[in-house]
Structure 1
Amino acid sequence: MALPAIAPYRMPSAADLPTNKVSWTPDPQRAVLLIHDMQRYFVDAFTSGASPVTELVANIRQLRQHCISVGIPVVYSAQPGGQTPEQRGLLLDFWGAGINGGPHQKQIIDALTPAEGDIVLTKWRYSAFNRTQLMDILRQSKRNQLIVCGIYAHIGCLQTASEAFMNEVQPFFVADGVADFSWENHQMALNYAARLCAVTTTTQQLIDQLRPQATRGGVPLSRQQVRADVIEMLQQDAALGDDENLLECGLDSIRLMTLVERWRNAGTEVTFVELAERPTLGDWYSMLTSIAQPPPVEVAAALQRGVRPTA
């Protein structure tokens, strides 16, 4: 009933991600980072110095640091040691007594020691929502996205993501920020999450999407970027014509709103209605590249003086 010894396996990469059913975009103003059960008892089951635990720890550290830099709260879950049979409940039948009563096993690993201001929740069951204040934290901070990383992917991480979904919280399941008993268990968790309750993503993809506003604003959109973003949403190839009606190609309102949010973060002021009324790449090139581009110096100066520039 104890934890198994986990043999090394390679950490999944972006190429291993399943196809997501939804296209939610993480938002620093809406998200909370959950570092799930990164305690010595659970981490010690992995082969030290080998994949996937080396990448796991490095990626969580990188993600945590970035989340702090953009103002995303960091929450840890940690199981208590020395639980009584009554506290352990049915977990006793599946996993035995769990973490012992000593100081070592229950500690979060040194590489991820919580900092002042981080929140550490005492966790009693698979889901980090069960008998904790996690939902209260999300609601009180008016946040409805949860970035899930830690161990184990197909047990507590997946149960937490599923419960977030069932409480109208958008989960982001970090494929290379979770680890499991085996490659098969890891992939099963990713496939379930992508099909039923979450967006699967990678550490780098999340960091790219959560870049600080100050470094993203005002950067002009190129035709290539607009096309690439649309193809990503439609999951089609680059043969998409500039004059094709994108709504008829499968660009529904959810995907369209995701694009609006992404391009606003890149410095545009385009609206959902503007894009929906002219739903072709050709029209969007005209709108987005002109909106994002700053006016020439002489035009800007004329506008400041209240003079309408001539053609």
Structure 2
Amino acid sequence: MGIPSIQPYFMPRKEELPKNRMSWTPDPGRAVLLIHDMQQYFLDYYDIRASPVVELLENIRQVRERCRALGIPVVYTMQPSEQTAEERGLLLDFWGPGLTAQPHKHGIVHELSPAESDTVLTKWRYSAFQRTELLELMRRWRRDQLIICGVYAHIGCMLTAGEAFMNDVQPFFVADATSDFTRNWHEMAMTYVAQRCGVVVSTRDVLDALAEKSSGAATFDLEHLRSEVAGLLERPASDIQSGDSLLDLGLDSIRLMTLVERLRAANFDISFVELAERTTLDDWWEILSARMPHGRWTGAEEQAHGVRG
């Protein structure tokens, strides 16, 4: 009963990953990053000075920073430090009391501490979708891809990938940003995901795919801004008029921060406060059109602003 002591093993290299049945690629407009159960309790079973943990922490950090830069929502799961026997259910039979026995190890490891803009979900079962708001949040954000990092590969990470697939969410299992009890268990999880429910990728694959998507972003204009806001408000774009108060339409601080992150990812120099002080699309476009990144004007905007090629 309980988690075994985990001996060091080498992280899978890109050339060692299983062949995927699907050719899906991460898209910053569709993806959510899941950092799964990276709590001190679970990391303490490893030698933190050796593989795979050294690579695990660094690779998750790199993926997280790229996702934040692109405005991709970052979601953490954390198992609770206190659970009754009824709440723990069959996990008690398999793993014992878990975190309840060591509540002081409940927190996310300091190297990956969540930011205020990140979402932290309390997780009760193997899958991050069970008894959480993850699927509801993804549907609210209009996201249908899940980039999965964390521990343990063949338990929560693999089951989360399977449940994502069963909810028509494309899972991306980041092989060298997950870790497991042994290399054999890790390989089993990768093989299952690649052949049955998702795509297995390396950290470099994710970083490269997101870099390619960001460099080829579409021209940003007023209608693009309207569409972004409509998605956050879960309304048709036609419902949002340029002079409407977006606060009255339901734009709260969390949605506004998500928009700010997306604008920064599109190379706009804009702050949360600047948008929070204004309330309409017209107000926001007045600011943004004056700070349009080089090369992003539409033909109509060039004419309106006197820009010449």
TM-score normalized with structure 2 length: 0.69
Residue matched to 2:54? 54
Residue matched to 2:267? none
Match status 1:158 vs 2:155: no
Residue matched to 2:215? 215
SS at match of 1:210: helix
Match status 1:105 vs 2:105: yes
Residue matched to 2:87? 87
SS at match of 2:178: strand
1:230-281 per-residue CA deviation (whole Å, 9 max, x = no partner) reads xxxxxxxxxxxxxxxxxxxxxxxxxxxxxxxxxxxxxxxxxxxxxxxxxxxx
Distance in 1, matches of 2:34 and 2:170, equals 13
Distance in 2, matches of 1:214 and 1:112, equals 24
CA RMSD, aligned part only?
1.6
Q: Is the 8 A contact 1:70 1:212 kept in 2?
A: no
Residue matched to 1:130? 130
Alpha-carbon distance change, 214 to 100 in structure 1, aligned in 2, over 3 angstroms:
closer
SS at match of 2:11: coil
Q: Is the 8 A contact 1:70 1:211 kept in 2?
A: no
Residue matched to 1:260? none
Residue matched to 1:167? 167
Residue matched to 2:206? 206
The runs of 5 or more residues in structure 2 that have no matched partner are 219-309
How far 1:104 moved relative to its partner?
Answer: 2.3
SS at match of 1:171: strand
SS at match of 2:195: helix
How far 1:2 moved relative to its partner?
Answer: 1.6
1:61-80 per-residue CA deviation (whole Å, 9 max, x = no partner) reads 01000000111000000000
How far 1:25 moved relative to its partner?
Answer: 1.4
Distance in 2, matches of 1:180 and 1:110, equals 20
How far 1:147 moved relative to its partner?
Answer: 0.3
Alpha-carbon distance change, 23 to 98 in structure 1, aligned in 2, over 3 angstroms:
same
Residue matched to 2:75? 75
How far 1:176 moved relative to its partner?
Answer: 0.2
Distance in 2, matches of 1:85 and 1:168, equals 33
TM-score normalized with structure 1 length: 0.68
Distance in 1, matches of 2:214 and 2:152, equals 35
Q: Which runs of 4+ in 1 moved over 6 A?
A: none
Residue matched to 2:43? 43
How far 1:167 moved relative to its partner?
Answer: 0.3
Distance in 1, matches of 2:53 and 2:214, equals 33
Distance in 2, matches of 1:197 and 1:214, equals 26
SS at match of 1:50: coil
How far 1:125 moved relative to its partner?
Answer: 0.2
Residue matched to 1:190? 190
Distance in 1, matches of 2:103 and 2:165, equals 34
1:176-212 per-residue CA deviation (whole Å, 9 max, x = no partner) reads 0100000000000000000000100001111100016
How far 1:100 moved relative to its partner?
Answer: 2.5
SS at match of 1:76: strand
The runs of 5 or more residues in structure 1 that have no matched partner are 219-311
Distance in 2, matches of 1:148 and 1:137, equals 16
How far 1:215 moved relative to its partner?
Answer: 3.2
SS at match of 1:93: helix
Alpha-carbon distance change, 27 to 81 in structure 1, aligned in 2, over 3 angstroms:
same
SS at match of 1:56: helix
Residue matched to 2:63? 63
Residue matched to 1:246? none
How far 1:216 moved relative to its partner?
Answer: 4.2
Q: Is the 8 A contact 2:41 2:102 kept in 1?
A: no
Q: Is the 8 A contact 1:99 1:106 kept in 2?
A: yes
Residue matched to 2:34? 34
Distance in 2, matches of 1:134 and 1:115, equals 18
Distance in 2, matches of 1:142 and 1:101, equals 38
Q: Is the 8 A contact 1:82 1:102 kept in 2?
A: no
Aligned residues: 219
